[in-house]
Amino acid sequence: MCGIVGYIGKHEASEILLEGLKRLEYRGYDSAGITLLNNNTFNRVRTPDRVAGLIQLAKNANLQGRLGIAHTRWATHGGICEANAHPHISSDGLFTLVHNGVIENYQKLKDFLLSKGFTFSSETDTETIVNLIAYYYSKQKENPDFSKNSFLESVRKTLNDLEGTYGIAVICKDFPNDIIGARKSSPLLLGVGEQEFILSSDIAAFARRTKNVIYLNDNEIVHVSNQDFTIQTISDKSVRAIIETVEWDGDSADLGIFSHYMEKEICEQPTALLNSMRGRFSDDESTAHFGGLNLSPQELRHVDRILFCACGTAWHACLIAKYLIERFARIPVEVDYASEFRYRNAPLDKNTLFFVISQSGETIDTLSALKEAKRKGYHTLAISNVVGSTIAREANGGIYQHVGPEIGVASTKAFTSQILIAAMIALFLGRLRDLSFEAGMKLVEALKKVPEQVQTILDSRLLIKKHCSQIRSLQ
Ligand code: GLU
């Protein structure tokens, strides 16, 4: 989702990593951090603040070393605070790691690691990855065939246990000349420079230092060791690396091939939609489920009316939610403008479910409406894209969109993801009532096809543009 930079080479890493983070700022983030390895010590600074704040902290800490990792975070698990900012360090102190993405089975892995004596100092899913690497490493250390490959093997074993998405960069105190990166549904590239290597989620981070790039594919691990590197898959097959030469410079790289953020975010919709639905369909594929509603099926069966409240674009998403929920779940839905709800003293039935939608989770009128409903004793739910936002914290439960930061106005990928989530709510509530198993399966199948269908339309955008100008010239 947000930004990763890793460095190993002949120069001091701190400035290069921080410059890389500055280049990734355009993606949006809520906190930032950096760790350098020097003389068998991890020196780390993190902040729930801007990169400029991190640069100041790094300066004060006089960070040194030629190997390090840095990160800008867009929180998905755990609020926005220093303890949740990356890099994370394993509880045995041997590994440090940065991660972009979401680990769906982190709770199960965390429980396992707790039972093995590992400890956690954050609420993130990420900390499970670094502790799991440490766990596999400790197992290998007990083995007589412990070798130079043990770091890589521990990472590989860990990745095989993960469900979800990741781009990672990890370093180990026992291997001061190595850095490992890997990806699955989250970008990661290796820049190959003059006696230096830079790992990053975005070429913008290093386009000024080198034009030689290797784009990792899903399920691939790159291991840089002693000024050389190898790539293998997580199932241990070696991969032939193709070094490509990129033409663009650092300034145009931010937007890649796009001319502005709105265009970029429109084109990100297939991935954004996939991220909103990931891990939310049931095993038998006949319904959706959401972890954070905090309502039992019994309580949900008692709901006989839903009131949606929002402002602006999110209000339009509510209007579509009404059609979807009434059609599939047969529950009457009303939609209110948040700014009006607060003042009009609407009579609410005791079995009314109160839902708000806000991309930022900070829309002030929506927040006030939510507080008013809570004051009246209703169970309140929120759909939001920003973890730890005021609305997300204030509501009794909710659903995160996981579409990453949206910079462009008007909303594009956040809006379509809200509609997708509304369809999944309709399916979920419908299956608790009269929607049959077959009808549920059909809906799941149809929803799963949406990202691909959106991609097909996006692939025709040049043709659509051509037709638009033809139509315009007829007017
Ligand atoms: N899931 C991780 C967290 O909440 C990583 C988020 C990101 O992609 O920045 O910390």
Of 204, 220, 250, the last residue of a domain is: 250
Query: Is residue 473 assigned to a domain?
Result: no
> Whose CA is closest to 425, among 298, 308, 316, 265?
308
Residues 383-409 have a mean pLDDT of 86
Q: What is the pLDDT of residue 204?
A: 79
Which atom of ligand 1 is found nearest the CA of 2?
A: 9
pLDDT at 100: 93
Instruction: Supply the CATH number for residue 160's domain.
Output: 3.60.20.10
Per-residue model confidence (pLDDT) at position 247 = 59
Residue 85 lies in a domain: yes
What's the pLDDT score for residue 343?
A: 82
- Quick check: CB of 201 below 6 Å from ligand 1? no
Within a domain: residue 471?
no
360 and 459 inside one domain: yes
Q: For a pocket test of ligand 1, which of 97, 98, 102, 186 has the largest count of ligand atoms closer than 8 A to its C-beta?
A: 102
The CATH number that applies at residue 378 is 3.40.50.10490
The separation between CA 375 and the C-alpha centre of its own chain, rounded to angstroms, equals: 32
Total domains present in the chain: 2
The answer to whether residue 246 scores a pLDDT higher than 80 is: no
Write down the pLDDT at residue 189: 92
Our mutation pick for probing the ligand 1 site, out of 80, 98, 126, counting the most ligand atoms within 8 A of Cβ, is 126
Q: Is 77 in the pocket of ligand 1 (CB under 6 A)?
A: yes
Mean pLDDT, rounded, for 173-179: 97
User: Alpha helices of 142-190 — where are they, by DSSP H?
Assistant: 150-161
Average pLDDT over residues 266-276: 95
As given in the structure block, the two tokens for residue 174 are 């026992």
Domain boundary among 250, 283, 300: 250
Same domain, yes or no, for 328 and 229? no
Model confidence at 347, pLDDT cuts 50, 70, 90, reads confident
Residues 82 and 97 placed together within one structural domain of the fold:
yes
Predicted pLDDT of residue 160: 98
- Domain identity same for 226 and 264: no
pLDDT value for 145: 74
The answer to whether the beta carbons of residues 447 and 420 sit under 8 Å apart is yes
Instruction: Report if residue 9 sits inside a domain.
Output: yes
Asked if the structure places residue 371 within a domain, the reply is yes
Report the mean per-residue pLDDT for the chain.
92
């993405």: which residue's tokens?
101
Same domain? 272 vs 346: yes
Which domain-ending residue is among 216, 250, 284? Answer: 250
For residue 12, what are its two tokens? 């001091």
The answer on 283 and 378 residing in a single domain is: yes
Residues 166 and 289 in one domain: no
Residue pair 294/397 in contact (Cβ under 8 Å)? The answer is yes
Q: What is the reported pLDDT for 291?
A: 87
Has residue 74 got a pLDDT over 70? Answer: yes
152 and 115: one domain? Answer: yes
Show the domain range for 329.
255-466
Q: Quick check: is 474 in a domain?
A: no
Model pLDDT for residues 25-69, shown as the tens digit of each residue = 877 799 999 999 999 999 999 999 999 999 999 999 999 999 999
Q: Is residue 209 part of a domain?
A: yes
pTM for the model: 0.70
Q: Residues 195, 265: one domain?
A: no
Domain assignment present for residue 451? The answer is: yes
pLDDT at 219: 94
- The C-alpha atoms of residue 13 and residue 69 are separated, in whole angstroms, by 9
- Asked if residue 23 has its Cβ within 6 Å of ligand 1, the reply is no
Lowest mean pLDDT among 2-6, 197-201, 363-367: 363-367
CB 274 within 8 Å of CB 322: no
φ and ψ at 262, to 5 degrees? Answer: -65, -40
What are 323-335's pLDDT values in tens digits? Answer: 999 999 999 999 9
CB environment 43-66: b (16+ within 10 A), e (fewer): bbbbbbbbbeebbebbeeeebebb
DSSP lists the bridge partners of residue 184 as 166
241 plus 277 within the same structural domain:
no
Whether residue 404 has its Cβ less than 6 Å from ligand 1:
no
Q: Are 241 and 299 in a shared domain?
A: no
Q: Which two tokens stand for residue 156?
A: 């590989």
CA gap 158, 406 in Å, rounded: 31
Give 364's Cβ-side CA count (13 Å radius): 0
| pLDDT number for residue 202 | 84
Q: Which of 4, 106, 124, 387 to mutate to test the pocket of ligand 1 (most atoms within 8 A of CB)?
A: 124
User: Quick one: tokens of 154?
Assistant: 């521990």
1 Cβ below 6 A of ligand 1: yes
Q: Are residues 239 and 265 in the same domain?
A: no
The whole-number pLDDT of residue 393 equals 84
